[in-house]
Amino acid sequence: MTTTRMHNEESQTDSPKASFDRANTFLRAGDAPMAERICRQALNEHPRDSNLLCLLGAALIRQRRPEEAEHTLSRAVRIFPDFSRAHEGLAEALIMQGRLSDALTSLERAEELEPGSASIRMKKGKVLIGMGRDDDASRELEESFKLAPHREDLVRGLGLQRMGNVREAEKIYRDVLLRDPTNVDALRLLASVAMRANQWGDAEALLERALEISPDFHQGWNDLGLARQEQDKTEAAIEAFQRVIRLEPHRPTGYVSVGTVYAMIGKHDESLDMFKKALQQDPSNFGALSGIGHVLKTIGQQDEAIASYRECIKQNPDHGETWWSMANLKTFRFDDGDIDNMLGRVARESLIEEQRTNFHFALGKAFEDKEDFDSAFEQYSLGNGNRRQRESYDPVQTADLHDRFIETFTKEFLVERIGSGCQSNAPILIVGLPRSGSTLIEQILASHPDVEGTHELPDLGRVARSVGTQRDDRKSYPQVMPLLDAEELSALGEEYLHRTERHRVGGKPRFTDKLPNNFVHVGFLSLTLPNAKIINAKRHPLDSCLGSFKQLFARGQPFTYDQFELAEFYLEYQRVMDHWHEVLPGKVLDVQYENVVDDLETEVRRILEYCELPWDDACLRFYENERAVKTASSEQVRKPIYSTSKHLWRRYERHLGPMIEILEPLLRELPEGWQPSQY
């Protein structure tokens, strides 16, 4: 009985269908070479099997070997002239070789044999576009929408989503899924709505469902990687992007995505390797070229970074993000030819608005370097106005959130819990507002032999916001904090330390975390890690606000794109910090940027004494530290301190009326010489 079963299994394994199924499984999983191998072995025994021939052709196409695919699929067409799949596959091989007229002939024959195929009509439309026959292409694409269930609805939803009507688009996607639960395009588009709303967990679940249905859906894998990346699931994100590479090994997308993740976690050599592999597939890929520039900037190779940015601009001169990347080096200077080039491009109506924003900020920096401050402010204002239209920010909601922190973390509440939490003294947090000197403080501390400089870590906020998510009473952070016992508080501190381990590769006993927005979490930190040190990086209110107004942030900081909102947020920040000083006296060390510039040694001694670190002269020579620095100040902190960085706001005072008006209560309290001329 056992022998008979084994014989049957071997016969099934050797059958053309079994070989086809096995090869197809490998191809769908992204392993085209293995699919090719299985097909060739099976074709030795069954050389005229139409399905195996077509699948071999598909495996060769996936490996970017169109000539070999053409040879195989032409044979399939000769043997089976009425098999539409063979004609359609042959067309794909011809398209890859640029032989659009021949490909159209094959697709027309495939359509004759299978007139109801949406994929054939879609391919015909794309070929006709390539041949310049746009009207014919439009008719073919319209027919493909009619033939593919729900495609027309999804295209309509995508159009609404692009116009900003996300709610109506979401209704369309959900309606399609009610009628067709396995529609992977609808699942992916619904996931894109969740991603836009920063609901990354929901997006991940939708994409995982789509990929269960269609494991070779490479766009789904790429989106899944992005959703995981946003949730700090680094390894899982890399796995998803590597799946993209296996499915599309001759396209740069997957390599660029993996390279970006490696750059985020400080694996700079691995990141550069991935970007270079992307360029092997497409030497003009501006994602890889700009990615290389970002990494080289981070590790201090400025000349090489500029060369990569220049090459990126050469390949895509309308990519405003790369122009801004050069400006964002802070120490780089554009020449007159660069400025004329940017002015010409930003004036074009067809320019994508996101790129227009980048050009405005780059031009602002260019005019500032020429000391044409009126023109510079005009460009900064245009860039901010453009970006503000695409940002979601509610100042009332911000004030309400800060109220909840102040109401929760009272002095009595904090005193009751003295001594709770994890007792590690490893973290040194640097908080404040952007462009207020936090990178300089971090660089000083990171030059100490006992301190490892990391960068702006998202972990504290994520740990804090996770509190209460599993509670039945639905209380959330920060109101849930009084309900936590000592053991839970200690566990939260340990979780933060665990999450930050991946950034602490040097084995030093202390480390910095300089995410500015952590200023709201001082109370949380005092309960979960009471021995952690907190430094508040302060700067003249107008210099701090102006610095943010001139900075185009890659993400976050939505309050910085309007003078009124920016100044109001500064007042909110000051209100929260005043509260921490009142309820936690001595917990936070204020470090004024201007004082560091005027008397570096005195301020460094204050900082080290507060952090309970022994004196080390290297902290005075912070600019010699060759560590990687990711922030906009990366090149500035690689140079000695210069006094010209103080009171830069005076250059723009005539334009800062809204900012000065809102900040008036603070500005009047400043020392003489620090106030606007109107005071």
Q: What is the pLDDT of residue 4?
A: 36
Residue 164: CB atoms within 10 Å: 11
Least confident of 30-39, 133-142, 335-344, 657-666: 133-142
Give the helix/strand (H/E) hosting 285: none
* pLDDT range class, residue 434, cuts 50, 70, 90: very high
Q: What is the pLDDT of residue 320?
A: 92
Least confident of 154-158, 198-202, 487-491, 498-502: 154-158
For 438, residues 6+ apart whose C-beta sits below 8 A from its C-beta are: 430, 431, 432, 514, 516, 537
> Phi/psi of residue 515, each to 5°?
-75, 115
CA angle 518, 609, 541 (to 5 degrees): 45
* pLDDT range class, residue 145, cuts 50, 70, 90: low
CA angle 441, 305, 453 (to 5 degrees): 25
| Residue 40 in this model has a pLDDT that exceeds 60 | yes
What the block records as the tokens of 644 is 């010209």
What the block records as the tokens of 632 is 């906009």
* Residue 472 to residues 324, 468, 480, 482, Cα–Cα distance (Å): 48, 9, 12, 16
Q: Is 589 left (phi over 0), alpha (psi -120 to 50) or beta?
A: beta
Residue 666: CB atoms within 10 Å: 15
Going by C-alpha positions, the residue among 373, 672, 402, 390 that lies closest to residue 546 is 373
Average predicted confidence (pLDDT) for the chain: 89
Give the helix/strand (H/E) hosting 488: helix 486-500
Least confident of 134-143, 241-250, 599-608: 134-143
| Straight-line distance from the first to the last Cα atom of the chain, in angstroms, rounded to the nearest whole number | 101
Give the helix/strand (H/E) hosting 590: strand 588-592
CATH 1.25.40.10 placement within the chain: 13-147, 157-388
Each residue's pLDDT tens digit, 403-412: 999 999 999 9
Each residue's pLDDT tens digit, 572-605: 999 999 999 999 999 999 999 999 999 999 999 9
Each residue's pLDDT tens digit, 263-306: 988 889 999 999 999 999 888 888 899 999 999 988 888 899 99
Check residue 436 and report its DSSP letter: S
| Residue 124 in this model has a pLDDT that exceeds 50 | yes
Q: Which CATH superfamily is domain 157-388 in?
A: Tetratricopeptide repeat domain (1.25.40.10)
Q: Is 435 left (phi over 0), alpha (psi -120 to 50) or beta?
A: left
Task: Report the distance separating Cα 664 and Cα 23, nearest Å.
Answer: 72
pTM: 0.73
Task: Report the distance separating Cα 255 and Cα 266, nearest Å.
Answer: 16
* pLDDT range class, residue 156, cuts 50, 70, 90: confident
> Phi/psi of residue 282, each to 5°?
-150, 95
Check residue 250 and report its DSSP letter: T
| Residue 420 in this model has a pLDDT that exceeds 60 | yes
Tell the CATH topology of 395-463+500-667: Rossmann fold (3.40.50)
Q: Which CATH superfamily is domain 13-147 in?
A: Tetratricopeptide repeat domain (1.25.40.10)
What the block records as the tokens of 513 is 């975390």
Write down the residue that tokens 């970017």 correspond to: 64
Amino acid letter, 414: L
In SS3 terms, 119-163 reads as HHHHHHHHHHHHCCCHHHHHHHHHHHHHHCCCHHHHHHHHHHHHC
* Residue 331 to residues 16, 325, 328, 365, Cα–Cα distance (Å): 65, 12, 8, 10
Percent of the chain with pLDDT over 90: 64
| Residue 261 in this model has a pLDDT that exceeds 70 | yes
| Residue 212 in this model has a pLDDT that exceeds 70 | yes
Q: What is the pLDDT of residue 505?
A: 80
> Phi/psi of residue 534, each to 5°?
-130, 120
The answer to whether 267 and 234 are in contact (CB under 8 A) is no
Least confident of 95-109, 269-283, 639-653: 639-653
- In angstroms and rounded to an integer, the radius of gyration of the C-alpha atoms of the chain is 30
